[in-house]
Amino acid sequence: MTVSGFTFNAFSENTYLLHDATGQCVIVDPGCYDRAEQQALRSFVEAQQLQVVLLLNTHCHIDHVLGNQFVVDTYKVPFLLHEEDLATLRSVPTYAGSYGFPTYSPAEPTGFLAPGVPVHFGDTELEVRFAPGHAPGHVVFYHAPTATVIGGDVLFRGSIGRTDLPGGDYATLIRSIETQLLTLPDDVTVYPGHGPATTIGDERRTNPFLN
């Protein structure tokens, strides 16, 4: 599995495209809001000759969902998230304008993710791990063969997700990191929702919030 990333919108959010040798592709947390960002994503898909088959959200804060409707409309794909974050998603229209996104268009999921129920595309299987604390229904996606985690806003290089937003809880977040991420091998690469990638081993050794 190959991970390709884009950084979109005013929050510098990381959008990921996961694709394998079959050419099938999953889009995770599309933050593309304006036409230039949307075109950048679409042009990459076309240039790589990818077949987008699924849209996934790790969680549903505004910066991670701005492009949901664009992806659904463009590629006519199922859209999945954890049911515990449905209220988070549905709250976005109430504040999108005040955050500078007046033309945000909401999308409704077509189904729900569940821990222990893998996500499949092409020849790839993603393990779904439930990791609340930053958001009530936050999940991360683990691909063991390539030692890769798509981590959303749970763990960052040298930091962790904020817990002062509605539904956030510091103790819950730390427990999620300890049980869902730090149980993975040290060489696993974490692709976070903001900032550069890191590894489980580096964060285990140096992250000040975990030591």
**Which residues fall within 8 angstroms of residue 161, CB to CB, at 6 or more apart?**
133, 134, 138, 152, 153, 154, 155, 168, 173
Q: Which of 40, 72, 42 is nearest to 56 (CA)?
A: 72
Instruction: Judge contact between 94 and 71, C-beta under 8 A.
Output: no
Helix (H, G, I), strand (E, B) or coil at 63: helix
Residue 60 lies in a domain: yes
CATH of the domain at 142: 3.60.15.10
Q: Which helix (H) or strand (E) holds 37?
A: helix 35-47
Residue 17 lies in a domain: yes
80 phi and psi, to 5 degrees? -125, 145
How many domains in the chain? 1
Provide the CB-side half-sphere exposure for 29 (13 A, CA): 32
Residue 108 lies in a domain: yes
pLDDT tens for each residue of 145-197: 999 999 999 999 999 999 999 999 999 999 999 999 999 999 999 999 999 99
Q: Which domain holds residue 59?
A: 2-206
Residue 211 lies in a domain: no
129 has which bridge partners? Answer: 140
Q: How do 124-130 and 139-143 pair as beta strands?
A: antiparallel
**Which residues fall within 8 angstroms of residue 205, CB to CB, at 6 or more apart?**
211
Helix (H, G, I), strand (E, B) or coil at 173: helix
Q: Which residue type sits at 42? A: R
Residue 150 lies in a domain: yes
In tens digits, what is the pLDDT along the chain, a chain of 211 residues?
999 999 999 999 999 999 999 999 999 999 999 999 999 999 999 999 999 999 999 999 999 999 999 999 999 999 999 999 999 999 999 999 999 999 999 999 999 999 999 999 999 999 999 999 999 999 999 999 999 999 999 999 999 999 999 999 999 999 999 999 999 999 999 999 999 999 999 999 999 999 8
